[in-house]
Amino acid sequence: MGIPHKHAELIKAWADGADIQVKNGDIWSDMDWNPKWDEQCVYRIRPEPKLITKMVELSLDEEDMGYAVFSGKQSNLRVVFDANTKDIVEVEIIA
């Protein structure tokens, strides 16, 4: 029996539909192409995003300039961020 490939478990997970990331320096990047499975590279299954929810009060001041206050007492928006990428994932208007 031969020696398994260094990334055998990740290759199997990728074949089953897992999203794979490759490390470039200190940064993990999504693989949007077929991985080369270079034994010198470091790969991982993309972790589930960590979500942060912020309640926001969005208002207009006297000059009709918009402003937002996070965690306002009279919040009218719920904003969900991906803690890793800082991207907005979801916004809900609260009437």
pLDDT of residue 30: 86
Judge contact between 7 and 43, C-beta under 8 A: yes
Tens digits of residue pLDDT in 24-61: 888 888 887 777 888 888 999 998 889 999 888 887 77
Beta carbons of 54 and 77 less than 8 angstroms apart: no
pTM for the model stands at 0.57
Q: Domain segments of the chain: what residues? A: 8-45, 51-93
Q: What integer pLDDT is reported at residue 51 of this predicted model?
A: 94
Residue 94 pairs in a beta bridge with none
pLDDT in tens, 74-91: 888 899 998 877 899 999
Residue 50, both tokens: 């960590």
Q: Is 60 exposed, middle or buried (0-12, 13-18, 19+ CB in 10 A)?
A: exposed
